[in-house]
Amino acid sequence: MSLVNLDKSLGNMRGAISDEVIEYEPFEFSTFSLGIISPENMIEGTHVVMETHRSGRILFQVIAKSHHQHKKLYRYRLTCVDKDVDLSRVLEIDPRSGRIKFERLGSHLQYARFIMNPRIHVQSKTFGSADSYLLEGVDISKTGMLLCSPHPFGTIPFIDNTLLEVRLDTDRTFSAQPLQSLCKVVRHYQEGVRDTATRYYAVRFVEFTHDEQVAWDHLISNIEHTAISSAKVSLAA
């Protein structure tokens, strides 16, 4: 993996105190946080500075750390110290596609996932079907969710590419009303033995109405604030 080429895609990064150059590669983003891969061994709470090419100087703090599959690399979640900064705007990242503006076509970042605590209930059914299944939202992002069901293997007929109608019951924790959307299953798998397996479904949102989209963006913002304040951030593999 080259960590040098993508280093220039967002800006040069240095330790706020040491002023040493930090080699990194961005892989995730959200409104208020940035996920990077780096060979630098930093502790949580470390402050780093990014000198961006078009938006000036941004001060970040490390709020989460995990080991990368490559033994000499680490995954970090950085949050902007200035809570009023919208990173997707100042770093010029398309909030829908993850495309970094002015960069080559391959420079796309994924939207950060946030662990749901408490989990939300999601009523799900195949598009046009009358049969509905109660699932739980495990983690969530701007573009999709990871759903799970403790039901025995084979009782839920969702497979890859299944189009779903979903209703998110937020129980007023993050939103004042339930939200509805069309989703597409992009991946499904199970954990555990066949008869007692937990089924997981990664879904991507396909369509919201305008009002639902506004409500969804507001919900994501609330979830992100809650997750970052308690460091409940899922660093995607």
Distances (CA, A) of 202 to 141, 189, 205: 11, 9, 10
Helix (H) or strand (E) holding 210: helix 210-229
pLDDT at 46 over 60: yes
Residues in a beta bridge with 161:
none
Residue 180 burial by CB count (10 A; 0-12/13-18/19+): exposed, middle or buried?
middle
Question: Could you give the CA distance from residue 211 to residue 230 in angstroms, rounded to a whole number?
Answer: 29
Average pLDDT score over the chain: 81
Name the residue among 37, 14, 81, 22 with its Cα closest to residue 228: 81
| CA diameter of the chain | 61
pLDDT at 221 over 60: yes
User: Where do the structural domains in the chain lie, given as residue ranges?
Assistant: 5-110, 113-234
Q: What is the pLDDT of residue 219?
A: 80
**Which residue shows structure tokens 């992009």?**
186
- Residue 233 in contact with residue 77, Cβ under 8 Å? yes
pLDDT at 104 over 60: no
Question: Could you give the CA distance from residue 195 to residue 26 in angstroms, rounded to a whole number?
Answer: 40
Q: What is the pLDDT of residue 125?
A: 92
- Residue 35 in contact with residue 27, Cβ under 8 Å? yes
Name the residue among 192, 167, 194 with its Cα closest to residue 178: 167
- Residue 37 in contact with residue 24, Cβ under 8 Å? yes
Q: How confident is the model at residue 109 (pLDDT cuts 50, 70, 90)?
A: confident
Q: What is the pLDDT of residue 146?
A: 94
How many helices and strands (H and E) does the chain possess? 2, 14
Q: What CATH superfamily classification does 5-110 receive?
A: predicted glycosyltransferase like domains (2.40.10.220)
Q: What is the pLDDT of residue 175?
A: 58
- Share above pLDDT 90 across residues of the chain, in percent, rounded to a whole number: 31
Higher pLDDT, 91 or 46: 46
End-to-end Cα distance, the chain: 15
Which architecture does CATH list for 113-234? Beta Barrel (2.40)
The secondary structure of residue 223, as a DSSP letter, is: H
- Topology alike, domains 5-110 and 113-234: yes
Reported pTM: 0.73
Higher pLDDT, 51 or 155: 51
Residues 6+ positions from 213 with CB-CB distance below 8 Å: none
Mean pLDDT of 85-100: 76
pLDDT at 73 over 80: yes
Measured at the alpha carbon of residue 161, what is the angle toward residues 158 and 164, in degrees to the nearest 5?
Answer: 55
Question: Could you give the CA distance from residue 237 to residue 235 in angstroms, rounded to a whole number?
Answer: 7
